Amino acid sequence: MMRSALFIPCANPKAMAKAATLACDALIFDLEDAVGDSERDGALARLAETLAGDFVARTVLVRIHPQYLGGIHKALSGLRIDGLVIPKVNGVADITGVAHVWPDMPLWAMIETAQGVANLAEIATAGVKGLIAGPNDLRKDLRSRSMKDRADILFALSQIVLYGRANGLSVLDGVYNAFRDEAGFAAECEQGRSLGFDGKTLIHPAQIAACEVAFSPSEAEVGWAKAVVAAFEGSAAGVVSVNGEMVERLHLAQAHWILKS
């Protein structure tokens, strides 16, 4: 399960000091956009030091800057990293280039350019473990304006889910920039969950709790799942009725998935 994945800017000593204790599903240590050019060496050294410690989060990812991959590999190889996040993936070459330098490392592709969306079919079959939406870069590339309910990038979000699911990959929604806007964030989590995303990338620790609630089954979903399992118990029927609704065996599989989540 990866419901919540928090970006930690490696150039920020206070944020890095908090990383070990943050109770999100995944941490994404960022060496790309959250690090200024003059901060690069210090950020990398701080990350190497931090990765030597333990974390409450189950999964530790590093978002690389492809331009500096050689130095990043040299500084971090042998340290605990569960996967690399590749930003601005336009096509398969962006993935094979990283895999060549860092073989056997699980890779995640950020889909945040027009080319990335257009080439999703090849990116999703290039051996990556997951896809991550990047709404900020995507809007920049598309020259779109942020619209209500993300109407301007909805097609891309749905394509990310579609190609991810078709290839058995994890799919994470993009960040919500207004980190003090709790209601707006909750609504966007709800939308991401409804679109089919497994979880969401975050920029602030205050977003973790609400995100985990949104991407976990609701009480109503658990109630429905239990009722479906009960309805099929000891029954050989292909279809039954639960609370006035048709339920088929495909719903039983869905119910088991909800109860397992």
112 annotated to a ligand binding site: yes
Residue from 137, 173, 188, 212 in contact with Mg ion (CB under 5 A):
137
Q: Which stretch binds Mg ion (CB under 5 A): 46-54, 97-105, 127-135, 185-193?
A: 127-135
Q: How far is the CB of 202 from ligand LIB3CWND (least distance, A)?
A: 7
Residue from 175, 225, 255, 258 in contact with ligand LIB3CWND (CB under 6 A):
175
Give 84-96 as a DSSP string.
EEESS--SHHHHH
105 binds ligand LIB3CWND (CB under 6 A): no
Q: Which value, in Å, is the radius of gyration of the alpha carbons in the chain?
A: 20
Q: Both tokens of residue 15?
A: 């944020």
Residue from 67, 96, 125, 136 in contact with ligand LIB3CWND (CB under 6 A):
136
Neighbours of 58 (CB within 10 A): 12
CB 208 within 8 A of CB 4: yes
Phi–psi pair at 16, nearest 5 degrees: -65, -35
Phi–psi pair at 63, nearest 5 degrees: -85, 115
63 annotated to a ligand binding site: yes
Q: Which stretch binds Mg ion (CB under 5 A): 112-120, 150-158, 174-182, 230-238?
A: 112-120
33 annotated to a ligand binding site: no
Neighbours of 80 (CB within 10 A): 11
Residue from 2, 3, 4, 7 in contact with ligand LIB3CWND (CB under 6 A):
7
CB 121 within 8 A of CB 93: no
Q: How far is the CB of 41 from ligand LIB3CWND (least distance, A)?
A: 18
Residue closest to 42 by CA, chosen among 85, 79, 84, 13: 13
Q: How far is the CB of 65 from Mg ion (least distance, A)?
A: 11
Length of the chain measured in residues: 261
CB 7 within 8 A of CB 176: no
Q: How far is the CB of 137 from Mg ion (least distance, A)?
A: 4
What does the alpha-carbon distance between residue 214 and residue 182 come to, in Å, rounded to a whole number?
12
94 binds Mg ion (CB under 5 A): no
Residue from 2, 3, 5, 9 in contact with ligand LIB3CWND (CB under 6 A):
9
Give residues in contact with ligand LIB3CWND (CB under 6 A).
6-9, 12, 14-15, 18, 30, 33-34, 112, 134-137, 174-175, 179, 203-205
Query: Can you say which residues are annotated as belonging to the binding site?
Result: 63, 112, 137
